[in-house]
Amino acid sequence: MLLVNVVILAAGMGKRMRSSLPKVLHPLAGKPILLHVLDTARTLSPAKICVIYGHGGEQVRQTIGNHSDLIWIEQAQQLGTGHAVKQALPHLDSNGVTLVLFGDVPLVKRNTLKVLIEKAHKDSLVLLTVELDNPAGYGRIVRDSATNRIQAIVEEKDASPSQKKIREINTGIMILPNNHLEEWLDKLSNANTQGEYYLTDIIAMAVNAGIPIEASCPESDWEVIGVNNKIQLSVLERAYQRDVANGLMEQGVMFADPARFDVRGQLVCGNDVEIDINCVFEGNVHLGNNIKIHANCVLRNVKISDGAVIHPFSLIEDAEIGRNCRIGPYARIRPGTQLDDGVHVGNFVEIKNSHIAAESKVNHLSYIGDTEMGRKVNVGAGTITCNYDGAFKHRTIIEDDVFIGSDTQLVAPVTITKGSTVGAGSTITRDTPEGQLTLSRTRQISISNWKRPRKDKG
Ligand code: UD1
Ligand code: CA
Protein backbone atom coordinates (compact mmCIF):
# COMPACT_ATOMS: atom_id res chain seq x y z
CA MET A 1 0.00 0.00 0.00
CA LEU A 2 1.13 3.51 -0.84
CA LEU A 3 2.39 5.40 2.20
CA VAL A 4 0.77 8.84 2.17
CA ASN A 5 2.06 11.86 4.08
CA VAL A 6 0.02 15.05 4.13
CA VAL A 7 1.61 18.49 4.30
CA ILE A 8 -0.76 21.39 4.90
CA LEU A 9 0.60 24.82 4.02
CA ALA A 10 -0.84 27.32 6.45
CA ALA A 11 1.91 29.84 7.14
CA GLY A 12 0.67 32.73 5.01
CA MET A 13 -0.62 35.75 6.86
CA GLY A 14 -3.76 36.46 4.93
CA LYS A 15 -3.35 40.22 4.81
CA ARG A 16 -6.44 40.63 2.64
CA MET A 17 -8.71 39.26 5.36
CA ARG A 18 -8.05 42.53 7.22
CA SER A 19 -8.42 40.86 10.56
CA SER A 20 -6.34 40.21 13.67
CA LEU A 21 -7.62 36.62 13.53
CA PRO A 22 -5.21 34.44 11.50
CA LYS A 23 -6.75 33.64 8.12
CA VAL A 24 -6.90 29.88 8.68
CA LEU A 25 -8.89 30.36 11.88
CA HIS A 26 -11.75 32.21 10.23
CA PRO A 27 -14.93 30.18 10.58
CA LEU A 28 -16.68 28.49 7.72
CA ALA A 29 -19.90 26.76 8.72
CA GLY A 30 -18.93 27.52 12.31
CA LYS A 31 -15.55 25.75 12.10
CA PRO A 32 -12.06 27.21 11.45
CA ILE A 33 -11.17 26.76 7.80
CA LEU A 34 -7.94 24.94 8.70
CA LEU A 35 -9.98 22.41 10.65
CA HIS A 36 -12.02 21.63 7.54
CA VAL A 37 -8.77 20.78 5.75
CA LEU A 38 -7.52 18.73 8.71
CA ASP A 39 -10.75 16.81 9.11
CA THR A 40 -10.78 15.93 5.41
CA ALA A 41 -7.11 14.90 5.55
CA ARG A 42 -7.85 12.67 8.54
CA THR A 43 -10.51 10.76 6.62
CA LEU A 44 -7.73 9.57 4.29
CA SER A 45 -5.89 7.94 7.24
CA PRO A 46 -2.47 9.22 6.13
CA ALA A 47 0.70 8.01 7.84
CA LYS A 48 1.48 11.58 8.90
CA ILE A 49 -0.05 15.04 8.81
CA CYS A 50 2.37 17.97 8.93
CA VAL A 51 1.00 21.47 9.40
CA ILE A 52 3.29 24.29 8.29
CA TYR A 53 2.40 27.32 10.37
CA GLY A 54 3.79 30.80 10.69
CA HIS A 55 1.67 33.89 11.15
CA GLY A 56 -0.40 33.77 14.33
CA GLY A 57 1.22 30.40 15.03
CA GLU A 58 0.51 30.17 18.75
CA GLN A 59 -3.12 31.08 18.29
CA VAL A 60 -3.49 28.58 15.45
CA ARG A 61 -1.94 25.76 17.50
CA GLN A 62 -4.02 26.60 20.53
CA THR A 63 -7.27 26.69 18.60
CA ILE A 64 -6.66 23.46 16.71
CA GLY A 65 -5.14 21.73 19.75
CA ASN A 66 -2.15 19.43 20.07
CA HIS A 67 -3.30 16.11 18.72
CA SER A 68 -0.99 13.16 18.52
CA ASP A 69 -1.68 12.74 14.79
CA LEU A 70 -0.37 16.23 13.95
CA ILE A 71 3.19 17.39 13.41
CA TRP A 72 3.42 21.17 13.78
CA ILE A 73 6.28 22.75 11.86
CA GLU A 74 7.07 26.43 12.07
CA GLN A 75 8.06 28.30 8.93
CA ALA A 76 9.41 31.47 10.52
CA GLN A 77 9.72 33.35 7.23
CA GLN A 78 7.35 32.77 4.35
CA LEU A 79 9.76 32.38 1.48
CA GLY A 80 7.38 30.53 -0.84
CA THR A 81 5.41 27.31 -1.19
CA GLY A 82 8.55 25.31 -2.10
CA HIS A 83 10.33 26.59 1.00
CA ALA A 84 7.25 25.71 3.06
CA VAL A 85 7.18 22.07 1.92
CA LYS A 86 10.94 21.85 2.51
CA GLN A 87 10.35 22.46 6.24
CA ALA A 88 8.53 19.14 6.40
CA LEU A 89 11.30 17.10 4.70
CA PRO A 90 12.79 15.62 7.91
CA HIS A 91 9.39 14.13 8.77
CA LEU A 92 8.47 12.59 5.42
CA ASP A 93 8.67 8.85 4.74
CA SER A 94 11.24 8.41 1.97
CA ASN A 95 9.37 5.52 0.36
CA GLY A 96 6.01 7.33 0.35
CA VAL A 97 4.30 10.27 -1.32
CA THR A 98 3.28 13.68 -0.04
CA LEU A 99 -0.15 15.13 -0.57
CA VAL A 100 0.13 18.92 -0.45
CA LEU A 101 -2.95 20.74 0.81
CA PHE A 102 -3.48 24.44 1.46
CA GLY A 103 -4.79 25.58 4.83
CA ASP A 104 -6.88 28.19 3.07
CA VAL A 105 -8.56 25.83 0.57
CA PRO A 106 -11.07 24.34 3.01
CA LEU A 107 -13.69 22.57 0.94
CA VAL A 108 -11.75 20.07 -1.14
CA LYS A 109 -13.61 16.80 -0.83
CA ARG A 110 -12.39 13.47 0.42
CA ASN A 111 -13.50 11.89 -2.83
CA THR A 112 -11.52 14.28 -5.00
CA LEU A 113 -8.41 13.53 -2.93
CA LYS A 114 -9.11 9.80 -3.01
CA VAL A 115 -9.10 9.88 -6.82
CA LEU A 116 -5.81 11.80 -6.73
CA ILE A 117 -4.26 9.20 -4.41
CA GLU A 118 -5.52 6.32 -6.55
CA LYS A 119 -3.63 7.78 -9.51
CA ALA A 120 -0.40 8.20 -7.56
CA HIS A 121 2.50 5.83 -7.10
CA LYS A 122 5.83 6.39 -5.44
CA ASP A 123 7.56 7.51 -8.62
CA SER A 124 4.95 9.83 -10.07
CA LEU A 125 3.48 13.26 -9.66
CA VAL A 126 -0.26 13.97 -9.71
CA LEU A 127 -1.71 17.47 -9.95
CA LEU A 128 -5.21 18.59 -9.15
CA THR A 129 -6.12 21.02 -11.93
CA VAL A 130 -9.27 22.73 -13.22
CA GLU A 131 -10.18 24.69 -16.30
CA LEU A 132 -11.53 28.09 -15.38
CA ASP A 133 -13.27 30.67 -17.56
CA ASN A 134 -11.32 33.28 -15.66
CA PRO A 135 -7.92 31.81 -14.72
CA ALA A 136 -6.47 35.17 -13.61
CA GLY A 137 -4.21 34.96 -10.57
CA TYR A 138 -3.50 31.25 -10.77
CA GLY A 139 -0.47 29.30 -11.91
CA ARG A 140 -1.08 27.91 -15.43
CA ILE A 141 -0.57 24.31 -16.52
CA VAL A 142 1.71 24.33 -19.55
CA ARG A 143 1.26 21.29 -21.78
CA ASP A 144 3.27 20.11 -24.79
CA SER A 145 1.29 21.07 -27.90
CA ALA A 146 2.08 17.80 -29.68
CA THR A 147 1.74 15.23 -26.87
CA ASN A 148 -0.49 17.22 -24.50
CA ARG A 149 1.82 16.13 -21.69
CA ILE A 150 2.29 18.51 -18.76
CA GLN A 151 5.56 20.42 -19.11
CA ALA A 152 5.55 22.97 -16.32
CA ILE A 153 3.52 25.29 -14.13
CA VAL A 154 4.02 28.98 -14.74
CA GLU A 155 2.91 31.50 -12.13
CA GLU A 156 0.66 34.24 -13.47
CA LYS A 157 3.19 36.92 -12.57
CA ASP A 158 5.89 35.12 -14.59
CA ALA A 159 3.69 34.03 -17.49
CA SER A 160 4.04 35.23 -21.08
CA PRO A 161 0.94 36.72 -22.76
CA SER A 162 0.25 33.46 -24.59
CA GLN A 163 0.68 31.41 -21.38
CA LYS A 164 -1.80 33.73 -19.64
CA LYS A 165 -4.42 32.52 -22.11
CA ILE A 166 -4.18 28.96 -20.74
CA ARG A 167 -7.36 28.15 -18.85
CA GLU A 168 -6.13 25.05 -17.03
CA ILE A 169 -4.84 26.14 -13.64
CA ASN A 170 -2.90 24.71 -10.73
CA THR A 171 -5.15 24.35 -7.69
CA GLY A 172 -2.01 23.97 -5.57
CA ILE A 173 -3.09 20.52 -4.40
CA MET A 174 -0.74 17.82 -5.63
CA ILE A 175 0.94 14.53 -4.80
CA LEU A 176 4.72 14.42 -4.86
CA PRO A 177 7.15 11.46 -4.77
CA ASN A 178 9.14 11.73 -1.54
CA ASN A 179 12.22 9.97 -2.92
CA HIS A 180 12.87 12.92 -5.27
CA LEU A 181 11.67 15.75 -3.07
CA GLU A 182 14.86 16.63 -1.26
CA GLU A 183 16.84 16.87 -4.49
CA TRP A 184 14.20 19.00 -6.21
CA LEU A 185 13.50 21.32 -3.29
CA ASP A 186 17.25 21.94 -2.85
CA LYS A 187 17.48 23.00 -6.47
CA LEU A 188 14.68 25.62 -6.28
CA SER A 189 15.70 29.18 -6.95
CA ASN A 190 13.90 32.39 -6.09
CA ALA A 191 14.94 34.19 -9.24
CA ASN A 192 11.39 35.04 -10.26
CA THR A 193 9.05 38.00 -10.18
CA GLN A 194 7.96 37.40 -6.58
CA GLY A 195 11.40 36.39 -5.25
CA GLU A 196 9.87 33.20 -3.81
CA TYR A 197 10.83 29.53 -3.83
CA TYR A 198 7.95 28.18 -5.89
CA LEU A 199 6.86 24.61 -5.25
CA THR A 200 5.49 24.68 -8.79
CA ASP A 201 9.02 24.82 -10.25
CA ILE A 202 9.53 21.16 -9.40
CA ILE A 203 7.11 20.17 -12.17
CA ALA A 204 9.65 21.05 -14.87
CA MET A 205 12.33 19.20 -12.85
CA ALA A 206 10.15 16.10 -12.77
CA VAL A 207 9.67 16.34 -16.54
CA ASN A 208 13.46 16.44 -16.96
CA ALA A 209 13.87 13.44 -14.69
CA GLY A 210 11.36 11.50 -16.80
CA ILE A 211 8.89 11.19 -13.91
CA PRO A 212 5.33 10.68 -15.17
CA ILE A 213 2.96 13.54 -14.38
CA GLU A 214 -0.78 13.12 -14.29
CA ALA A 215 -3.63 15.52 -13.75
CA SER A 216 -6.96 14.97 -12.07
CA CYS A 217 -9.86 17.36 -11.56
CA PRO A 218 -12.24 17.91 -8.64
CA GLU A 219 -15.94 16.97 -8.74
CA SER A 220 -16.91 20.63 -8.39
CA ASP A 221 -14.86 23.76 -9.09
CA TRP A 222 -15.74 25.41 -5.78
CA GLU A 223 -13.84 22.67 -3.94
CA VAL A 224 -10.56 24.29 -4.91
CA ILE A 225 -11.40 27.94 -4.27
CA GLY A 226 -9.02 29.47 -1.76
CA VAL A 227 -9.95 31.99 0.88
CA ASN A 228 -8.00 35.22 0.48
CA ASN A 229 -10.63 37.74 1.54
CA LYS A 230 -14.03 37.84 3.14
CA ILE A 231 -15.83 37.90 -0.18
CA GLN A 232 -14.32 34.52 -1.11
CA LEU A 233 -15.09 33.26 2.39
CA SER A 234 -18.75 34.16 1.89
CA VAL A 235 -18.83 32.48 -1.52
CA LEU A 236 -17.44 29.29 0.01
CA GLU A 237 -19.84 29.48 2.94
CA ARG A 238 -22.78 29.49 0.53
CA ALA A 239 -21.24 26.73 -1.60
CA TYR A 240 -20.82 24.60 1.50
CA GLN A 241 -24.36 25.24 2.75
CA ARG A 242 -25.82 24.54 -0.67
CA ASP A 243 -23.91 21.29 -0.85
CA VAL A 244 -25.23 20.18 2.56
CA ALA A 245 -28.76 21.22 1.55
CA ASN A 246 -28.48 19.27 -1.71
CA GLY A 247 -27.42 16.18 0.22
CA LEU A 248 -30.39 16.54 2.56
CA MET A 249 -32.82 17.13 -0.32
CA GLU A 250 -31.57 13.95 -1.95
CA GLN A 251 -32.58 12.21 1.27
CA GLY A 252 -36.04 13.78 1.05
CA VAL A 253 -35.80 16.86 3.23
CA MET A 254 -37.97 19.71 1.93
CA PHE A 255 -36.64 23.25 2.16
CA ALA A 256 -38.71 26.40 1.63
CA ASP A 257 -35.45 27.80 0.23
CA PRO A 258 -32.13 25.94 0.39
CA ALA A 259 -30.34 29.28 0.00
CA ARG A 260 -31.68 30.42 3.35
CA PHE A 261 -30.48 27.59 5.56
CA ASP A 262 -27.35 27.14 7.66
CA VAL A 263 -25.75 24.13 9.27
CA ARG A 264 -22.81 24.58 11.62
CA GLY A 265 -22.20 21.01 12.62
CA GLN A 266 -24.13 17.86 11.81
CA LEU A 267 -27.78 17.71 10.88
CA VAL A 268 -29.38 14.27 10.55
CA CYS A 269 -32.97 14.10 9.29
CA GLY A 270 -35.55 11.33 9.02
CA ASN A 271 -38.32 11.17 6.42
CA ASP A 272 -40.69 14.01 5.62
CA VAL A 273 -38.83 16.77 7.34
CA GLU A 274 -39.78 20.30 6.30
CA ILE A 275 -37.55 23.26 7.00
CA ASP A 276 -38.76 26.80 6.45
CA ILE A 277 -36.46 29.75 5.79
CA ASN A 278 -33.66 31.16 7.96
CA CYS A 279 -33.20 28.23 10.30
CA VAL A 280 -29.77 27.60 11.85
CA PHE A 281 -28.65 24.16 13.03
CA GLU A 282 -25.60 24.02 15.28
CA GLY A 283 -23.66 21.17 16.85
CA ASN A 284 -25.40 17.82 16.57
CA VAL A 285 -29.03 18.09 15.59
CA HIS A 286 -31.14 15.02 15.04
CA LEU A 287 -34.61 15.35 13.55
CA GLY A 288 -36.88 12.30 13.36
CA ASN A 289 -39.71 11.71 10.86
CA ASN A 290 -42.57 14.08 9.95
CA ILE A 291 -41.08 17.13 11.53
CA LYS A 292 -41.73 20.72 10.60
CA ILE A 293 -39.32 23.48 11.57
CA HIS A 294 -40.92 26.84 10.87
CA ALA A 295 -39.08 30.01 9.93
CA ASN A 296 -36.27 31.59 11.95
CA CYS A 297 -35.55 28.82 14.44
CA VAL A 298 -32.15 28.10 15.95
CA LEU A 299 -31.49 24.52 17.07
CA ARG A 300 -28.25 23.64 18.84
CA ASN A 301 -27.47 20.08 19.98
CA VAL A 302 -31.06 18.97 19.91
CA LYS A 303 -32.85 15.70 19.34
CA ILE A 304 -36.42 16.02 18.12
CA SER A 305 -38.68 12.99 17.80
CA ASP A 306 -41.29 12.13 15.17
CA GLY A 307 -44.20 14.42 14.50
CA ALA A 308 -42.98 17.45 16.41
CA VAL A 309 -43.61 20.98 15.14
CA ILE A 310 -41.36 23.89 16.00
CA HIS A 311 -43.12 27.18 15.34
CA PRO A 312 -41.30 30.35 14.21
CA PHE A 313 -38.59 32.16 16.16
CA SER A 314 -37.84 29.40 18.65
CA LEU A 315 -34.40 28.79 20.15
CA ILE A 316 -33.71 25.30 21.45
CA GLU A 317 -30.38 24.16 22.85
CA ASP A 318 -29.04 20.98 24.48
CA ALA A 319 -32.50 19.51 24.77
CA GLU A 320 -34.61 16.52 23.82
CA ILE A 321 -38.04 17.04 22.37
CA GLY A 322 -40.47 14.10 22.37
CA ARG A 323 -42.91 12.91 19.73
CA ASN A 324 -45.67 15.25 18.57
CA CYS A 325 -44.51 18.11 20.76
CA ARG A 326 -45.56 21.63 19.75
CA ILE A 327 -43.03 24.33 20.51
CA GLY A 328 -43.28 28.07 20.00
CA PRO A 329 -43.67 30.48 18.39
CA TYR A 330 -41.05 32.44 20.35
CA ALA A 331 -40.13 29.65 22.74
CA ARG A 332 -36.76 29.37 24.41
CA ILE A 333 -35.74 25.89 25.50
CA ARG A 334 -32.49 25.95 27.41
CA PRO A 335 -29.92 23.24 28.22
CA GLY A 336 -30.90 20.22 30.24
CA THR A 337 -34.50 20.17 29.12
CA GLN A 338 -36.36 17.01 28.26
CA LEU A 339 -39.89 17.15 26.95
CA ASP A 340 -41.77 13.87 26.69
CA ASP A 341 -44.34 13.09 23.98
CA GLY A 342 -47.12 15.53 23.20
CA VAL A 343 -45.88 18.41 25.33
CA HIS A 344 -46.93 21.93 24.26
CA VAL A 345 -44.70 24.90 24.96
CA GLY A 346 -46.11 28.16 23.68
CA ASN A 347 -45.10 31.74 23.07
CA PHE A 348 -42.68 33.58 25.34
CA VAL A 349 -42.06 30.52 27.46
CA GLU A 350 -38.59 29.77 28.79
CA ILE A 351 -37.75 26.30 30.03
CA LYS A 352 -34.43 25.44 31.63
CA ASN A 353 -33.02 22.20 33.03
CA SER A 354 -36.44 20.64 33.45
CA HIS A 355 -38.23 17.43 32.64
CA ILE A 356 -41.80 17.74 31.48
CA ALA A 357 -43.75 14.50 31.18
CA ALA A 358 -46.20 13.62 28.41
CA GLU A 359 -49.09 15.85 27.37
CA SER A 360 -48.38 18.69 29.75
CA LYS A 361 -48.88 22.25 28.51
CA VAL A 362 -47.08 25.48 29.25
CA ASN A 363 -48.58 27.71 26.65
CA HIS A 364 -48.00 31.35 27.54
CA LEU A 365 -45.42 33.68 29.06
CA SER A 366 -43.90 31.40 31.69
CA TYR A 367 -40.54 30.49 33.20
CA ILE A 368 -40.04 26.88 34.20
CA GLY A 369 -36.58 26.21 35.63
CA ASP A 370 -35.12 23.22 37.55
CA THR A 371 -38.48 21.54 37.51
CA GLU A 372 -39.75 17.99 37.43
CA MET A 373 -43.22 18.13 35.93
CA GLY A 374 -45.60 15.16 35.66
CA ARG A 375 -48.12 14.20 32.99
CA LYS A 376 -51.14 16.20 31.87
CA VAL A 377 -50.23 19.28 33.83
CA ASN A 378 -51.70 22.60 32.71
CA VAL A 379 -49.60 25.62 33.54
CA GLY A 380 -51.45 28.93 33.21
CA ALA A 381 -50.09 32.09 31.60
CA GLY A 382 -47.41 33.96 33.46
CA THR A 383 -46.40 31.16 35.82
CA ILE A 384 -42.92 31.44 37.25
CA THR A 385 -40.81 28.96 39.16
CA CYS A 386 -38.72 30.97 41.61
CA ASN A 387 -35.79 28.56 41.59
CA TYR A 388 -32.98 30.83 42.77
CA ASP A 389 -32.60 32.30 46.24
CA GLY A 390 -29.57 34.38 45.33
CA ALA A 391 -27.13 31.64 46.30
CA PHE A 392 -28.64 28.28 45.50
CA LYS A 393 -30.93 26.77 42.87
CA HIS A 394 -33.84 24.68 44.13
CA ARG A 395 -36.13 22.24 42.39
CA THR A 396 -39.84 22.51 41.89
CA ILE A 397 -41.89 19.33 41.66
CA ILE A 398 -45.21 19.46 39.90
CA GLU A 399 -46.96 16.09 39.93
CA ASP A 400 -49.42 14.57 37.41
CA ASP A 401 -52.74 16.27 36.61
CA VAL A 402 -51.94 19.52 38.36
CA PHE A 403 -53.67 22.71 37.22
CA ILE A 404 -51.84 25.93 37.89
CA GLY A 405 -53.78 29.16 37.51
CA SER A 406 -52.30 32.14 35.71
CA ASP A 407 -49.79 34.55 37.23
CA THR A 408 -48.58 32.14 39.87
CA GLN A 409 -45.18 31.99 41.52
CA LEU A 410 -43.95 28.64 42.77
CA VAL A 411 -41.17 29.32 45.28
CA ALA A 412 -38.77 26.38 45.26
CA PRO A 413 -38.16 24.01 46.84
CA VAL A 414 -41.84 23.14 46.68
CA THR A 415 -44.05 20.26 45.57
CA ILE A 416 -47.41 20.73 43.89
CA THR A 417 -48.97 17.41 44.70
CA LYS A 418 -50.84 15.19 42.28
CA GLY A 419 -54.19 16.49 41.11
CA SER A 420 -53.99 19.75 43.03
CA THR A 421 -55.20 23.06 41.68
CA VAL A 422 -53.51 26.37 42.33
CA GLY A 423 -55.68 29.49 42.10
CA ALA A 424 -54.61 32.29 39.77
CA GLY A 425 -52.34 34.94 41.20
CA SER A 426 -50.97 32.79 44.00
CA THR A 427 -47.53 32.74 45.54
CA ILE A 428 -46.97 29.16 46.62
CA THR A 429 -44.29 28.59 49.25
CA ARG A 430 -45.49 25.35 50.84
CA ASP A 431 -46.41 21.96 49.34
CA THR A 432 -50.03 21.76 48.18
CA PRO A 433 -52.27 18.92 49.35
CA GLU A 434 -53.44 16.36 46.79
CA GLY A 435 -56.70 17.07 45.00
CA GLN A 436 -57.42 20.40 46.75
CA LEU A 437 -57.58 24.00 45.57
CA THR A 438 -54.77 26.05 47.05
CA LEU A 439 -54.60 29.77 46.67
CA SER A 440 -52.88 32.71 48.31
CA ARG A 441 -54.65 35.94 47.57
CA THR A 442 -55.85 38.94 49.53
CA ARG A 443 -59.62 39.17 49.51
CA GLN A 444 -61.13 41.40 46.87
CA ILE A 445 -62.81 44.53 48.22
CA SER A 446 -64.80 47.37 46.64
CA ILE A 447 -64.98 50.94 47.93
CA SER A 448 -68.37 52.33 47.14
CA ASN A 449 -67.80 56.07 47.72
CA TRP A 450 -64.46 56.27 46.00
CA LYS A 451 -63.95 58.95 43.33
CA ARG A 452 -61.43 58.76 40.57
CA PRO A 453 -59.07 61.79 40.73
CA ARG A 454 -59.59 64.36 37.96
CA LYS A 455 -57.60 67.26 36.58
CA ASP A 456 -59.34 70.60 37.09
CA LYS A 457 -60.63 71.79 33.71
CA GLY A 458 -60.54 75.52 34.69
C1 UD1 B 1 -0.21 29.12 -5.37
C2 UD1 B 1 0.48 28.40 -6.52
C3 UD1 B 1 -0.31 28.63 -7.82
C4 UD1 B 1 -1.73 28.16 -7.65
C5 UD1 B 1 -2.35 28.82 -6.43
C6 UD1 B 1 -3.69 28.19 -6.14
C7 UD1 B 1 2.87 28.38 -6.05
C8 UD1 B 1 4.16 29.03 -6.31
N9 UD1 B 1 1.80 28.91 -6.64
O10 UD1 B 1 -0.14 30.49 -5.66
O11 UD1 B 1 0.30 27.93 -8.89
O12 UD1 B 1 -2.47 28.46 -8.80
O13 UD1 B 1 -1.54 28.65 -5.26
O14 UD1 B 1 -4.35 28.91 -5.15
O15 UD1 B 1 2.81 27.41 -5.33
N16 UD1 B 1 2.28 29.34 2.10
C17 UD1 B 1 3.09 28.98 3.15
N18 UD1 B 1 4.36 29.42 3.19
C19 UD1 B 1 4.89 30.22 2.23
C20 UD1 B 1 4.06 30.58 1.14
C21 UD1 B 1 2.76 30.12 1.10
O22 UD1 B 1 2.65 28.26 4.06
O23 UD1 B 1 6.07 30.57 2.33
C24 UD1 B 1 0.91 28.85 2.05
C25 UD1 B 1 -0.12 29.95 2.14
O26 UD1 B 1 -0.49 30.20 3.47
C27 UD1 B 1 -1.27 29.38 1.33
C28 UD1 B 1 -0.58 28.51 0.29
O29 UD1 B 1 0.71 28.22 0.81
O30 UD1 B 1 -2.09 28.57 2.11
C31 UD1 B 1 -0.50 29.17 -1.07
O32 UD1 B 1 0.32 30.32 -0.98
P33 UD1 B 1 0.01 31.61 -1.81
O34 UD1 B 1 1.09 32.60 -1.53
O35 UD1 B 1 -1.38 32.05 -1.56
O36 UD1 B 1 0.19 31.08 -3.29
P37 UD1 B 1 -0.42 31.68 -4.60
O38 UD1 B 1 0.40 32.84 -5.00
O39 UD1 B 1 -1.86 31.87 -4.46
CA1 CA C 1 -3.43 31.95 -2.64
- Catalytic center residues: 364
Strand 150-154, strand 140-143: pairing: antiparallel
CA dihedral 45→50→56→62, nearest 10 degrees, is: 50
138 and 214 in a common domain: yes
Asked whether residue 61 is domain-assigned, the answer is: yes
pLDDT reported for residue 56: 80
C-alpha 129/C-alpha 257 separation (Å) is 32
pLDDT interval class at 429 (50, 70, 90):
very high
Rounded distance, CA 71 to CA 143, Å? Answer: 35
Residue that terminates a domain, selected from 209, 224, 239:
224
- CATH at 196: 3.90.550.10
- Residue 237 maps to a domain: no
The pLDDT score that the predictor gives to residue 55 is 77
CA dist 111 to 43, 50, 99, 100, 244, Å? Answer: 10, 21, 14, 16, 15
Would you say residue 1 has pLDDT above 90? no
Q: How far apart are alpha carbons 415 and 458 in whole angstroms?
A: 59
Task: Look at residue 64 and tell me if it is in a domain.
Answer: yes
| CA of 102, nearest ligand number | 1
What is the pLDDT averaged over residues 221-249?
96
322 and 434 assigned to the same domain: yes
Indicate whether 236 belongs to any domain. no
Q: Are residues 29 and 144 in the same domain?
A: yes
Residue-by-residue DSSP string for 367-385: EEESEEE-TT-EE-TT-EE
pLDDT above 80: residue 458: no
Q: Please list every protein residue whose CB sits less than 6 Å from any atom of ligand 1.
A: 9-12, 52, 75, 78-81, 83-84, 102-104, 138-139, 153, 155, 169-172, 198-200, 226
Ligand 2 centroid to residue 120 C-alpha, Å: 24
Mean pLDDT to the nearest integer, 412-425: 98
Residue 116: strand, helix, or coil: helix
Same domain for 191 and 252?
no
Cis peptide upstream of residue 329 (ω within 30 degrees of 0): yes
- CB-count burial class (<10 Å; 0-12, 13-18, 19+) for 67: exposed
pTM: 0.93
Per DSSP, 233 falls in state H
Domain span holding position 288: 247-438
In a shared domain, residues 261 and 349: yes
Residue-wise pLDDT tens digits, 58-95: 899 999 988 888 999 999 999 999 999 999 999 999 99
Atom of ligand 1 nearest to the CA of 75: 18
Tens-place pLDDT, residues 365-406: 999 999 999 999 999 999 999 999 999 999 999 999 999 999
* 74, 183: one domain: yes
The alpha carbon of 279 and the centre of ligand 2 are apart by a number of angstroms equal to: 33
* Per-residue CA distances from 242 to 31, 248, 293, 365 (Å): 16, 10, 18, 37
According to the model, what pLDDT value does residue 14 have? 86
What is the structure's pLDDT at 218?
A: 97
Contacts for 388 with CB less than 8 Å, ≥ 6 apart: 369, 394
Using the predicted structure, report yes or no on whether residue 456 has a pLDDT greater than 90: no
CATH number at residue 421: 2.160.10.10
Q: Does one domain contain both 336 and 372?
A: yes
| Domain shared by 344 and 288, yes or no | yes
Query: Do residues 165 and 279 both lie within one domain?
Result: no
Protein residue closest via CA to atom 32 of ligand 1: 81
In-domain check, residue 450: no
Asked if residue 254 is part of any domain, the answer here is yes
State the distance from the centre of ligand 2 to the C-alpha of 137, rounded, in angstroms: 9
Residues 193 and 295 in one domain: no
| Inside any domain, residue 230 | no
Instruction: Tell me which of 37, 60, 81, 205 to substitute to probe ligand 1's pocket, judged by most ligand atoms within 8 Å of the beta carbon.
Output: 81
Q: Are residues 299 and 376 in the same domain?
A: yes
Which bound ligand lies closest to the C-alpha atom of 24? Answer: 1
Residue 286 phi/psi, 5-degree rounding, is: -125, 115
| Three-class SS state of 204 | helix
Q: How many Å apart are CA 329 and CA 341, to the nearest integer? A: 18
Looking at the structure of the chain, the number of domains it has is: 2
Question: Is residue 456 one of the residues assigned to a domain?
Answer: no
Asked if 300 and 185 sit in the same domain, the reply is no
